[in-house]
């Protein structure tokens, strides 16, 4: 938020150490109706596939508040992977009045689901707006070095906790034996993730473990990397836009566009497969070049404008009147946390 010059009007401060997703969902369900009664918004906007987005959307729909979903229609078509994200996406979309699909493919997923009742608009994704904005701000900084190639790694999917993370760490240890690589790994705050990674890789030469990077630093790290290994959602959109090859440490993906554009390959969590794919991209310049053409399946940075236009259109159909009259409802008082 700080990088964009934004401030939070109110932080509900619902996250607690050791909390289960059910406990978080209960807290949101308890707080949202009174917040909505105080602010009287016309719509609740939720982004992505988190449990907080799901619980807030469900709670809003129970009290008759319209829901708009940014990043609608992403589907891995497997409710168990990623979990609980895929289930959250399906359920948020089913109760949304406005669905902002990043791509034509995500809109097609929604068209195939009988439960979808809202209006679907293809907008691109706001993550790319953020990425390109920050990259413009930080231009000039680079990690590129011909002798030592930087590999950026992120890894935190719930279904990879345990055997998956252990295999990924084993692969990273083998990759780090090469003197021509430097591995940078910002660790997710989930203790089950950073505990396992720190224990496996804590004192490995050429592997640098970090606390999470702030977003501008993360953009610099992605932009300067020779290669990215990741099981993340957002990085699957960001790496192609930056033209950095991505090996996806998962068995499936809700973002097929990045494989069609040739920017990413699905390698799963098998250590041999991860090492082989990484070595190929380190040793074969043609293979690396083939995955390095920037691609923009999630838009070129104007998703937020398209979303705003769609909300204005939707609002006009709900409450006909002049733009000035309608604008009044957008000027909400700050949240008293
Ligand atoms: C379960 C969950 O949370 N899912 C959301 C999460 O995906 P996911 O959990 O996969 O999160 P990512 O790993 O993609 O990270 C989210 C964002 O944080 C940035 N980053 C990551 C590591 C770091 O140290 N510093 C940093 O700034 C990434 O570049 C990205 O922009 O974010 C995606 C991008 O908004 C959303 O589509 C998903 O709804």
Mean pLDDT, the chain, rounded, equals 91
The residue annotated as part of the active site, out of 89, 156, 194, 226, is: 156
Say yes or no to pLDDT of 322 above 60.
no
Domain match, 283 and 314 both? no
The total domain count for the chain is 2
Q: Which of 71, 105, 231, 257 is catalytic?
A: 71
Does residue 163 share a domain with residue 106? no
Q: Are residues 180 and 252 in the same domain?
A: yes
Based on the fold, state whether residues 107 and 187 are members of the same structural domain.
no
Ligand 1, CB within 6 Å, residue ranges:
48-50, 71, 85, 127, 154, 186, 212-213, 215, 218, 232-235, 238
Q: Is position 113 annotated as part of the catalytic site?
A: no
How many Å from the N-terminal Cα to the C-terminal Cα in the chain?
A: 18
Same domain, 198 and 229: yes
Sign for the pseudo-dihedral over CA of 46, 47, 51, 52? negative
Whether 257 sits among the annotated catalytic residues: the reply is no
Establish whether 288 is a catalytic residue.
no
Instruction: Give domain status of residue 312, yes or no.
Output: yes
* In a shared domain, residues 116 and 93: yes
Residue 140: predicted pLDDT: 54
Could you tell me what percent of the chain has a pLDDT over 70?
92
pLDDT band at residue 199 under the 50/70/90 scheme: very high
Residue 37 belongs to some domain of the structure: yes
pLDDT of residue 172: 98
What's the token pair of residue 150?
Answer: 């930087």
Q: Tell me which of 21, 153, 233, 240 to substitute to probe ligand 1's pocket, judged by most ligand atoms within 8 Å of the beta carbon.
A: 233
Query: What integer pLDDT is reported at residue 333 of this predicted model?
Result: 47
226 and 204 in contact (C-beta within 8 Å)? Answer: no
Residue 308 has pLDDT above 60, yes or no: yes
ipTM: 0.93
**Within a domain: residue 131?**
no
Q: Is residue 246 part of a domain?
A: yes
Give the structural domain span for 313. 2-124+301-328
State whether 269 and 163 are in the same domain. Answer: yes
| Per-residue confidence (pLDDT) for residue 9, from 0 to 100 | 79
Q: How confident is the model at residue 325 (pLDDT cuts 50, 70, 90)?
A: low
Q: Considering 75, 81, 85, 257, which one is annotated as catalytic?
A: 85
Q: What pLDDT does 289 receive?
A: 97
Candidate from 217, 234, 299 with most ligand 1 atoms within 8 A of CB, to mutate: 234
CATH number of residue 320's parent domain: 3.40.50.2000
pLDDT category, 14, cuts 50, 70, 90? confident
251 is catalytic: no
- Do 259 and 306 belong together in one domain? no
Same domain, 84 and 147: no
- Judge whether residue 124 has pLDDT over 90: yes
Q: What is the pLDDT of residue 270?
A: 97
Residues 283-288: contacts with CB under 8 Å, at least 24 apart: 288/226, 288/227, 288/245
Band of pLDDT at residue 329, cut at 50, 70 and 90: very low
Are 197 and 273 in a shared domain? yes
| Domain match, 305 and 281 both | no
Average pLDDT in the 204-225 region?
A: 96
Look at residue 99 and tell me whether its pLDDT is greater than 90: yes
Answer yes or no: do 262 and 203 share one domain: yes
Residues 6+ apart with CB under 8 A from 98: 43, 66, 67, 68, 69, 118, 119, 121, 310, 311, 314
Whether residue 333 is contained in a domain is answered as: no
Task: State residue 142's pLDDT score.
Answer: 55
- Per DSSP, the three-state class of 322 is coil
């Amino acid at each position: 938020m700080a990088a964009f010059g934004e401030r939070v009007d109110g932080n509900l401060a619902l996250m607690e150490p050791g909390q289960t997703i059910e406990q978080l969902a209960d807290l949101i369900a308890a707080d949202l109706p009174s917040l909505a009664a105080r602010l009287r918004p016309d719509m609740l906007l939720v982004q992505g596939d988190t449990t907080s987005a799901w619980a807030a959307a469900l709670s809003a729909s129970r009290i008759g508040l319209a829901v708009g979903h940014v990043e609608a229609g992403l589907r891995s078509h497997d409710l168990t992977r990623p979990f609980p994200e895929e289930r959250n996406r399906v359920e948020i979309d089913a109760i949304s009045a406005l669905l902002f699909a990043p791509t034509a493919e995500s809109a097609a997923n929604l068209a195939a689901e009988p439960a979808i009742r809202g209006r679907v608009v293809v907008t691109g994704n706001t993550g790319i707006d953020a990425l390109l904005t920050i990259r413009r701000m930080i231009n000039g900084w680079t990690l590129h070095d011909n002798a030592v190639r930087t590999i950026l790694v992120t890894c935190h999917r719930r279904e990879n906790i345990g055997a998956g993370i252990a295999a990924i760490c084993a692969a990273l240890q083998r990759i780090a034996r090469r003197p021509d690589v430097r591995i940078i790994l910002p660790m997710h705050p989930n203790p089950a993730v950073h505990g396992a990674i720190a224990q496996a890789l804590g004192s490995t030469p050429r592997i640098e473990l970090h606390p999470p990077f702030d977003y501008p630093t993360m953009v610099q790290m992605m932009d300067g990397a020779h290669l990215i290994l990741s099981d993340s959602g957002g990085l699957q959109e960001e790496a192609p836009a930056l033209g950095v090859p991505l090996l996806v440490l998962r068995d499936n993906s809700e973002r097929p566009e990045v494989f069609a554009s040739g920017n990413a390959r699905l390698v799963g969590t098998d250590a041999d497969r991860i090492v082989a794919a990484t070595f190929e991209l380190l040793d074969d310049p043609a293979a690396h070049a083939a995955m390095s053409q920037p691609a923009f399946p999630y838009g070129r940075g104007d998703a937020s404008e398209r979303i705003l236009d769609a909300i204005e259109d939707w609002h006009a159909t709900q409450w006909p009147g002049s733009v000035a009259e309608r604008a009044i409802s957008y000027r909400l008082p700050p949240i008293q946390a």
